[in-house]
Structure 1
Amino acid sequence: MSEPDQRERLKQLDAKIAKVKATNTPKPAQEEHYSQAQQGWRMVTELVAGLGIGFGIGYGLDVLLGTIPIFLVLFTFLGFAAGVKTMMRTAQEFQSAQAAPVAKDEEKG
């Protein structure tokens, strides 16, 4: 083989190696950790919001109707259930978002 032909093949090989390294570089651990913390806080906020809204509706109904705090307890439980349901939906969304790149990599391999 001639010298220019080998140089061209080496350049092509270097380009392929650089391309593979660029696609397979792992994310910095700090960014991933920040993303996980952000997801956790989102889920906590959803639960607290559900509880707060349920508490507010129940308290408001009890004040308007002059009843014992039965609506407060009832709507607090309903708000908790709604918050948990929203949290579970968010967790499923995050799980499917993480599974999508893995499935894509398996198709390529």
Structure 2
Amino acid sequence: MSEPNDLERLKALDARLASLKKAQAPKTNGVAQGHDMANYAWRMVTELVAGLLIGFGIGFGLDKVFDTMPLFLVLFIFLGLVAGIRTMMRTAQEAQRKSTQAGTAAKNEGD
């Protein structure tokens, strides 16, 4: 006899919990997303510079060992640049994927 009453109470409790969770959920605004994009930008710059510096170091070291000063330096700077750009592109794809997933989740939550 008390079963329908319990079901109604559980549904009411579930509705209250859902509304409280929605109220407590962190609100995303443009500032937070801007900081996230700035972090990605700094990460990309760091990856590019790291690729160039590693290429410079390897090229300079090989030129000192083989006494062919500009040859390996130029070659490995270009290789470091290519490696840095590839890493930047992977980071951009990761940011795009996260942005798409967040947009899909927000769209599904809104429905």
Question: Per the shorter chain, which TM-score range?
Answer: 0.7 to 0.9
TM-score, normalization: structure 2? 0.73
In 2, Cα distance between equivalents of 1:56 and 1:82: 14
Structure 1 residues 17 and 104: alpha-carbon distance in aligned structure 2, compared to 1, 3 A threshold: closer
Aligned to 1:68: 69
In 2, Cα distance between equivalents of 1:16 and 1:66: 73
Aligned residues: 99
Aligned to 1:104: 105
Unaligned runs of 5+ in 2: 1-8
Aligned to 1:45: 46
Q: Secondary structure at the match of 1:69?
A: helix
Give the Å deviation of 1:102. 1.9
Unaligned runs of 5+ in 1: 1-7
State, as a whole percentage, how many aligned pairs show the same letter: 44
- 1:27 to 2:5 alignment: no
In 1, Cα distance between equivalents of 2:45 and 2:100: 23
RMSD: 2.7
In 2, Cα distance between equivalents of 1:60 and 1:49: 16
Structure 1 residues 18 and 102: alpha-carbon distance in aligned structure 2, compared to 1, 3 A threshold: same
